[in-house]
Structure 1
């Protein structure tokens, strides 16, 4: 018996060991240890012999790159494997017949062997040349966490791609930074940066005395100081208890203790007349024996206190200038938009953001909670939205999670996954309210809705299996008759659009609005504004950059457009609505749905609906919507006509919020350098100085102080009336912003320049005048000397004071890379924010020395430079200059 049992046991063990799953796992394990490298080879492929048009590239533009796999182990000959990888640029061709690439969904692609595959030889390198659409100019165009799978095996990330340090597997793009050969942008080398910074002089600290950010309307500074080092005695009776705690925490953060000096608050509406009598207006009087903040309302009191806090030095003696200030906000709407749908950002990071917004008097937090890649808020009664829609993992059936996207890899242990519970959201609402900030939730639809669509399909299948067909269909977002072949701007198929013709879609919207509104009620914060989203409900392959193969047009990607459909074109429900005359055609469905949603918003007692402007483009005017007000985030680039088209929206009765990508998209790079991060379809850079120079209430003016995407001047004028902007909003989209540290790097310190323009109209900004033309490089109507002087003041305040406050708050802001040059063998450096510490190294970064401009060091060979944070704990990206 023992022998038989041993034989059976041996047979069982042998069978397990020789099973295909274990063999496949061995292959996965081996490939996951390969060294992967990605190198961009040619961004001008169309000019160098590649027929990008024939490959179907948008605007016939494509680039060449090489994927290199180095096998340092034993040979791998098994063909049962696939490498999944994330690429925001569609792969158009593979120039190695042993491999093929298939687009899966969104940015997810699959690399696998063909029948001609001969294996990965031991200790050998295999190169896989590919052609991608468009160009790749910044390192963040390449996404991390490439992973290997095989039938029955556990997916594994290729080890050297499991990182946020992309240069671990991406060859630096130093020679590949131009979009076209005649790209006029200037590469920000150390020398170019030195030249750019050269007109920003370091100011005497005495000239910064009494300076408040954002700049008040009127300030009268006296010659005396008040010493707060012995502490302050706060009378915050004009504020609610929650706001009092927020103010006290800011005083404590800046090191001001409780003590003797009285700071008194009051609300006195009668003290404000004319244009001063608006929400947020305040008067600040700092005298030897006390400081008094008088507000038009609680918001005014709060902002007056923030102005006093702005004066407090970040280190050293706590002396502030005696002064009198009268101030009021420029715009009612001063916003930061944060996308947590593409990649999730933590509650702690959101609370830190709200703290900084309040310190700089920003009052609207536009919370982009959903997108194709993720649903980020718990909705009672619809558990699939977070059980499935908030998670990404390698489940090709999408029964347990969404497909991996945007560098999340096969696992749910990173910021590709995550959501806010009801309690989290309520906490955020309360925290924002205490800081005079309105939270505006955005549930994006009808496009950018894939997370919701897939989640509700899972709900449908679950309930249908239980025989609850009516309940299963209650919130279904897809029409099963819709076979439309359509692709969104980020390459999702028809599952990326909820169907606007279904009653169940309206049921879903009504349910979500109601549940989020209930959270606001529990937080004691009314839901005043509902953001509908509405953007990009189109098929990208029917766009202007593609042409049909039957009648090809030069300079466009050649495809079979006869196989392409507009969204919902084959939905029987939508076709019936068109036949019944309820909507003109499928192109009008997005705006139609916006109007329908506005009725639901009004029924919930919410006074304002908001959307991205293209989602409402087919509505005649704002009066077609049910809500009292309709806000539009205007996101046309200026140089593509936005200087004129923005007027159209304002003249239709919409409250226009300037949200222009070429100025205030914070997911765009800070400077033209491949080592920086971000998307760049609207501009190649947007730094603090550029944002500071933005004239949001006279769009044509910006033609004199800005350039287009390729670094060329442009002309701008509009002959139309301009009723004026309702507000200014800066956006952080999170496609390539995966972590909280990356989020803060992109937002700060640019947010402070956004706050300056949202709160304060500068003297160099001109009134809009219909018919006035601004020609870049030709006309000189803007007082650029006044602008440069104003920027120099602001830049010095950032370098000497504000960055240190961000340090105290634990913000992982971007430190500006210094400019540097060597003249006569001596090193010279500067920074965009005078007052910052610069360090240099002459031994490849082994040892760093403090740079002193008064004693410029003699150097030779290559010299590395970097800036240090005021607290000395963090450093900028390193650059170098040669003697």
Structure 2
């Protein structure tokens, strides 16, 4: 049974409903205009598989399903027109056509989200309607942490399908952290041979006395990564890889001890971290460390082509400075560069890779800590030799001292003009960056960290952070009112983040992410009123149909009535935070 246009998630901009319907059958053709061939393949492999309909190709403008690009529309905009004879999907680009195809799938009903027909004798109908739609933001993302708990490749591909079903178009792939390195780097094989595996894992928050004594780990081969990137591109999703520096790097130091601050720590005794929180073990600010990570990023750029992944995330968050304060080598580097303190040293480290990526046509993005340290630390490290990664061109003294980046100017924050900021510690970092002319992705933890608990009850499994209900997420506003209209243009969009310390399985990830991702998707896609004016009861009514889609997709979401018995984890300590900052 089909659904009405009033049951779509996210809500479209403009809908004009008719009185009739269009019936799909064995004779229904699928005609793909130039540039829409990939969308046609997707429709046959998903809707075709669920309905049992072959959807054969027919030349010309035959009745049935017709896909076409209309350059007059915005790139991700679409127009879906259903009359008794034809289902026509027009988009400003193939991406717009794809989002229109996702809407068509929703109109067919929840069974269109299955992998095979449940009733081969049924009739498939689509209500007569004209839907004109376009997204509010160009960046509609989900960050998935696969370092704390590894998600095998098939699970990642499944999540790309779930993003596409919600018209999300950015997959932020958090690949490295203290607890595991998850991507093969051929020139540094120990990153995965040793850095991808830990001996045991804390069960619950770090205050918990419980341990899972089984070894945990895994990584993606370079061919796995190429497959993930290609699979995402077919669904018009950009993949943003994250390689975290200079903090959150203990797994790399465990594999290559010379990357750490060897003059103050016996780094040969370090292992991949088995606990949660922030470890004091950070990268040493040496030329060797920079050359090592340049080699890492060279392979990253090859695996994530610029046309589908223009951004590279370098982390930059939560970098304790204690070892640098104690390290004679780090203090000598601060003096050599004429920096004021360890904060400026971190800033100098980040700006090195900002310049390095910009020279290669990429855009750095990092957590809002990359704004710290001031503009005096701009530039990148001097090159004294070509020891491991091939010759580097010499740099003049001005650039050596970090006062100028080659090939262009920097902004008042010392970053290359193309650098962007993930604002996670609230809105302040994003506001500062936008006012300085930098693009911003708003992902404040107080609102869109989906590892935070969904209700205050004791039966929530391993509760983390503030209570953030479905309604809280639905009332999240990505653009802070402090920005002028011109400054707000730098808000590329928004992103929900999923940190997996207490998510040891795909089912646990599903529980934390859904159904809240549906509310987030509507915030990212639809043009909504101010938070207090949003019609949450109407959204709940549309979610009634959407739960059926999630059921058909096999998503182990949290029911509105609370966790099912097998979703609870009684007696396992989490990290609840009482109270919460108000919404913007």
Which residue pairs with 2:134 in the alignment? Answer: 328
Question: What do you get for the CA RMSD once the two structures are aligned?
Answer: 3.3
Conservation of the 8 A alpha-carbon contact between 1:210 and 1:311:
no
Residues in 2 aligned to 1:253 and 1:536: alpha-carbon distance in whole angstroms: 46
Stretch deviating more after TM superposition (243-252 or 383-392): 243-252
What's 1:391 paired with? 197
Q: Which runs of 5+ in 2 are unaligned?
A: 57-62, 112-121, 202-207, 268-272, 376-409, 571-584
Q: Please name the residue that 2:464 is paired with.
A: 680
Matches of 1:304 and 1:623 in 2, distance apart? Answer: 41
Change (3 A) 1:517 1:675: same
Give the one of 177, 197, 214 matched to 1:411: 214
Q: CA–CA distance in 2 between the matches of 1:323 and 1:394? A: 55
Partner of 2:204: none
1:657–1:729 contact (8 Å) kept in structure 2: yes
Looking at structure 2, the residues matched to 668 and 647 of structure 1 have their Cα atoms a distance apart, in angstroms, of: 24
Is 1:292–2:88 an aligned residue pair?
yes
Q: Deviations over 1:834-866 (max 9, x none)?
A: xxxxxxxxxxxxxxxxxxxxxxxxxxxxxxxx8
CA contact (8 A) 2:177 2:244 kept: yes
Q: What is the CA distance between 1:265 and its match in structure 2?
A: 1.1
Match among 529, 533, 538 for residue 793 of structure 1: 538
Matched, 1:723 2:488: yes
The residue number in structure 2 matching 1:482 is 264
Cα shift at 1:351? 0.7
Alignment partner of 1:757 is 2:523: yes
For residues 431-830 of structure 1, the aligned pairs below 5 Å read 431-457=231-257, 476-482=258-264, 490=276, 493-495=279-281, 497-499=282-284, 501-521=285-305, 526-538=308-320, 566-606=322-362, 608-620=363-375, 622=411, 627-637=416-426, 642=427, 646-678=430-462, 680-681=464-465, 683=466, 685-698=467-480, 722-724=487-489, 725-762=491-528, 764-765=529-530, 782-783=532-533, 787=534, 790-799=535-544, 801-817=545-561
Contact 2:422–2:430 at 8 Å: present in 1 too? Answer: no
TM-score (ref. length: structure 1): 0.54
Inter-CA distance 739–614: structure 2 relative to 1 (3 Å threshold)? same
For residues 536 and 327 of structure 1, do their structure 2 counterparts lie closer, same or farther at Cα, with a shift above 3 Å needed?
same
Deviation per CA, 1:344-398, whole angstroms, max 9, x where unpaired?
1111111111001111111100000000000001110211101111011169xxx
| Alignment partner of 1:357 is 2:163 | yes
For the residue of structure 2 that corresponds to 1:600, the secondary structure is helix
Query: What is the aligned counterpart of 2:30 among 206, 222, 234?
Result: 234
Residue pair 1:588, 1:618 contacting (<8 A) in 2 also = yes
Deviation at 1:814, TM superposition (A): 2.4
Query: Tell me, what secondary structure is at the counterpart of 2:325?
Result: coil
SS at match of 2:212: coil
CA drift of 1:645 comes to 5.4
Cα pair distance change 1:730/1:503, threshold 3 Å: same
Kindly state the Cα deviation for residue 749 of structure 1 after the two structures are TM-superposed. Answer: 1.9
Q: 750-759 vs 610-619, which deviates more? A: 610-619
* Contact 2:423–2:429 (Cα < 8 Å) also in 1: no
* Superposed CA offset, 1:762-819 (max 9, x none): 1x227xxxxxxxxxxxxxxx43xxx2xx3223222222x222222322322223326x
1: CA distance, partners of 2:197 / 2:431: 41
Aligned to 1:266: 68
Q: Quick check: 2:420–2:440 contact (8 Å CA) kept in 1? A: yes
Partner secondary structure for residue 97 of structure 2: helix
The residue that corresponds to 1:220 in the other structure is 16
Which of 1 and 2 has greater Rg? 1
- Structure 1 alignment gaps of length 5 or more: 1-204, 396-404, 458-475, 540-565, 700-716, 767-781, 819-865, 868-873
SS in 1 for 2:81: strand
Aligned residues: 508
Question: Does the CA-based 8 Å contact 2:39-2:94 persist in structure 1?
Answer: no
- Deviations along 1:312-351, one digit per CA (max 9) or x if unpaired, are 1125763322111222111110000000111111111111
Q: Which residue of 1 aligns with 2:385?
A: none
Cα deviation for residue 686 of structure 1 reads: 1.5
| CA distance, structure 1, for counterparts of residue 569 and residue 186 of structure 2 | 48
Quote the offset at 1:698 in angstroms. Answer: 3.6
* Equivalent residue in structure 2 for 1:282, among 54, 73, 78: 78
Report what 2:578 is aligned to.
none
- Using CA pairs below 8 Å that are at least 6 residues apart, which structure has the higher relative contact order? 2
| Contact 2:2/2:107 (8 A) holds in 1 | no
1:372 maps onto 2:178 in alignment: yes
Give me the whole-angstrom Cα distance separating, in 2, the residues matched to 1:406 and 1:727. Answer: 40
Secondary structure of the structure 1 residue equivalent to 2:198: coil
Matches of 2:52 and 2:470, distance apart in 1: 29
Deviations 1:220-266 (A, max 9, x none): 11122222355742223444655433332231354362359611111
1:517–1:526 contact (8 Å) kept in structure 2: no
The answer as to whether partners of 2:80 and 2:88 remain within 8 angstroms in 1 is yes
How far apart, in 1, do the equivalents of 2:2 and 2:123 lie? 14
Structure 1 distance, partners of 2:463, 2:245, is 22
Change (3 A) 1:206 1:515: closer
